[in-house]
Amino acid sequence: MLRKMYMKRFIYFFVFFLLLTLSLFFVMNRLSSKTLEDNLIGASKNQLDYVKGILDGIMYEANMYGVQFAADSDVRFYQSQVIELSNYDSQMKKNEIVDRLRQILLSSRSIESIGIYWKSEESFLSTNNTLEARLPFKEVQERGWRIVEGSLYYFAVYPYIQKNGKVEPAQYVVGVKLKTDYLKSLLKKAVNNDSSNAFFLFNQQQLWSEKEVDNDLLKAVNSMLTPQPESTVKYDYHTKSDDYYVLSRYIEPIDAYLITYTRTNDFLQPLDRNRKVFLVSILAVLTLGLFVIFTFYRNYYRNIRLLEKKFSQVEQGNHNTRITENTDKEFYSLFRSFNHMVAEIQELFVSLKTETDLRRSAELKQLQAQINPHFLYNSLFYIMSVAQFSPDAVMRMSKHLAEYYRYLTKLDQHEVTLESELQFAEHFLIIMTLSKKIEYKIDLPAELASLPLTPLIIQPVVENAIQHGIEGRQGAHQVTIDVKRTQTAITIRISDDGKGLSQEDIHRLETQLESDTPPEGIRGVGLWNVNRRLRNTYGELSGLQFSTNDWGGLSVLMLIDFSAEKGETYATTDRG
């Protein structure tokens, strides 16, 4: 697996890991920013609700005092009593009402003044009995909240309750003026810190604030405002350099908005700074990582790939390859060991080839020496016995005997063709048919004639079929040689109609052939030798197999399994 991990894949994985880390950090940073912003907005909403609650209490208090004095009997009958009372008693009555109004101011922090104005008499009682104080009362015809000269008033009129749906003119007006500075001081409770500001916006025109409000922000907010009395509405406002979130709460009784806005840059700036530091760190890690990868590639990976390439050449049989590139200390010893190892392997293969050639030559000479001399004697005696009355038989015997021994004496190569090996076996069979009653048949497909084959591999099996098969059974006289091919092997089946072998004898014979040493004596040595040569030359899947045929005799199957190299040769022969 490590051999297949290319450098490009490693770089891709490294970059992917960095991008994944960067993405996770970006997501975490966004989540942190969102969480912080949500917490800030939540805190601002709570503060806004708190101020709204205080303001509702102030308005309720002003409303209550206005209604209280509008329905008060002393106030309602004050004008009629003044006419009937003396000047002293009238003044005392006036002082009594004013004292009651002033007592309210002592118990309230939000009320600046309270006044009562009788329209028909144009008389005015107030805690602030100045000419300017009575002016806001003159135009009032109905109860409600008003902004007059930058101050917030609540007006109650008498009659307070209209009868039968008829609008009756106001007899007198009770006005409660709230402290503007106190209302502005409430705005401090609606801000988080110096990055926040709050203000009241009345009728979307008049502004109350303790701090200066940016005009562009005010215009943008004014265009976005919608009256939603029961909820706090959030808006976003952005400039080139700053980001804001804006919260507004509509106060329906006074037709005003309580608005707070916060610049988020001051809160998110530490996170932005951390993000920038992290990005710089990621770039530094990326640069360092690429440098390490380049160094690894130059000093290690390239040398490892070179070593892998050289090993592949050795596997393909190129034992002359060497590593001649200059390298550093880490790989110098390894490359030197590789060159030494390949040189040793090359010497070993040369030595092995020499020994193999010598062994095959010795085996061939041994096989040539093992040819039964009795075969020659019997053939010569046959020639002598028929020389006087059958010259043709002498000529045929002499011809095939000469071809037989010429093949043996001139055999100096390690491979022959299948056709020549079968011709050699046929010479032997013809010689045997001249002296004995034997019939034979050889079936060789034409496309297999030039197939390379190790020499003297078929004749010993044919000779064994005649000596131990046909000669051991009365009337036996048939020998067949059948050559076939499969996908990866060649089979040569040699069958006779001799006495055959029992299953126990076949098993015993197969056991002898599997032995590493030849059987004692001369019986079975030929078959053991053929089986051993087949396995040594063509691999462990090759060898001899035995079975009883339809004649009752023995069939010897010679299986030749071609390796990859032999298979290529076979395929070439088959195509030719």
Domain with residue 498: its CATH number is 3.30.565.10
Mean pLDDT of the chain: 81
| Bridge partner list, 360 | none
Other CB atoms closer than 10 Å to residue 531's CB: what's the count?
20
The rounded Cα 26 to chain-centroid distance in angstroms is 20
**Of 241, 263, 285, at which residue does a domain stop?**
263
**CA separation, residue 355 to residues 149, 360, 531 (Å):** 125, 9, 21
Asked, as a colleague might, if the bond just before 159 is cis with ω within 30 of 0, I would say: yes
For 82-86, 112-116, 174-178, 377-381, which range has the lowest pLDDT when averaged over its residues? 377-381
Residue with tokens 């199957």: 557
pTM, whole model, 2 decimals?
Answer: 0.49
Mean of the pLDDT values across residues 355-372? 55
For the stretch 11-58, pLDDT in tens is: 677 777 777 877 887 787 778 777 877 888 888 888 888 998 999 999
β-pair type (439-443, 478-485): parallel
More confidently predicted of 356 and 239: 239
Per-residue pLDDT band at 356 (split at 50, 70, 90): low
pLDDT the model gives residue 546: 93
**Residue 196, pLDDT above cutoff 90:** no
Other CB atoms closer than 10 Å to residue 154's CB: what's the count?
26
**Residue 140, pLDDT above cutoff 80:** yes
pLDDT the model gives residue 272: 72
Residue 174 belongs to some domain of the structure? yes
Other CB atoms closer than 10 Å to residue 275's CB: what's the count?
18
Name the H helices within 370-517.
Answer: 373-386, 391-409, 418-435, 459-468, 503-514
DSSP 523: T
Sheet arrangement for strand 151-158: 123-126, 111-118, 172-178, 151-158, 144-148
Mean of the pLDDT values across residues 102-113? 90
Q: H or E segment at 68?
A: helix 7-70
More confidently predicted of 555 and 472: 555
Residue 350 belongs to some domain of the structure? no
**Of 220, 236, 263, at which residue does a domain stop?**
263
Residue 356 belongs to some domain of the structure? no
Report the chain's terminal Cα–Cα distance, integer Å: 42
Provide the percentage of residues in the chain whose pLDDT is more than 90. 17
For the stretch 328-339, pLDDT in tens is: 666 777 778 888
pLDDT the model gives residue 63: 93
Residue 367 belongs to some domain of the structure? no
Q: Report DSSP letters for 12-37, one per residue.
A: HHHHHHHHHHHHHHHHHHHHHHHHHH
pLDDT the model gives residue 3: 45
Is the Cβ–Cβ distance between 111 and 105 less than 8 Å?
yes
- Domains contained in the chain, number: 2
Residue with tokens 């450098």: 7
What does the radius of gyration of the chain's CA atoms come to, in whole angstroms?
62
pLDDT the model gives residue 565: 43
**Residue 292, pLDDT above cutoff 50:** yes
Q: H or E segment at 184?
A: helix 180-186
pLDDT the model gives residue 571: 32
Residue 114: which domain range? 1-263
Give, in degrees to the nearest 5, the angle at Cα 182 between 178 and 186. Answer: 120
Q: H or E segment at 145?
A: strand 144-148
Per-residue pLDDT band at 568 (split at 50, 70, 90): very low
Name the H helices within 71-154.
Answer: 73-76, 78-84, 87-107, 131-138
Give, in degrees to the nearest 5, the angle at Cα 294 between 292 and 296. Answer: 65
Cα–Cα dist 233/227, whole Å: 9
pLDDT the model gives residue 154: 94
Mean of the pLDDT values across residues 222-237? 83
Q: How many H-runs (helices) and E-runs (strands) does the chain carry?
A: 17, 17
**Of 263, 295, 322, at which residue does a domain stop?**
263
pLDDT the model gives residue 567: 39
Residue 438 belongs to some domain of the structure? yes
**Residue 114, pLDDT above cutoff 90:** yes
**Helix, strand, coil shares of the chain as percentages rounded to 5?**
55, 20, 25
Cα–Cα dist 438/463, whole Å: 12
**Residue 325, pLDDT above cutoff 80:** no
pLDDT the model gives residue 495: 95
Residue 570 belongs to some domain of the structure? yes
**CA separation, residue 158 to residues 61, 172, 176 (Å):** 19, 6, 15
Residue 341 belongs to some domain of the structure? no
Residue 380 belongs to some domain of the structure? no
pLDDT the model gives residue 480: 95
**Residue 167, pLDDT above cutoff 90:** no
Give, in degrees to the nearest 5, the angle at Cα 92 between 86 and 98. Answer: 135
pLDDT the model gives residue 39: 83
Per-residue pLDDT band at 572 (split at 50, 70, 90): very low
Structure tokens at 532: 């051993």
Is the Cβ–Cβ distance between 126 and 115 less than 8 Å?
yes
Residues whose CB is less than 8 angstroms from the CB of residue 262 and which lie 6 or more positions away in sequence, other chains included: 40, 44, 191, 192, 195, 196, 244, 245
pLDDT the model gives residue 492: 95
Residues whose CB is less than 8 angstroms from the CB of residue 438 and which lie 6 or more positions away in sequence, other chains included: 429, 432, 466, 470, 477, 478, 479
Residues whose CB is less than 8 angstroms from the CB of residue 556 and which lie 6 or more positions away in sequence, other chains included: 461, 464, 465, 493, 494, 495, 527, 544, 545, 546
Mean of the pLDDT values across residues 448-472? 88
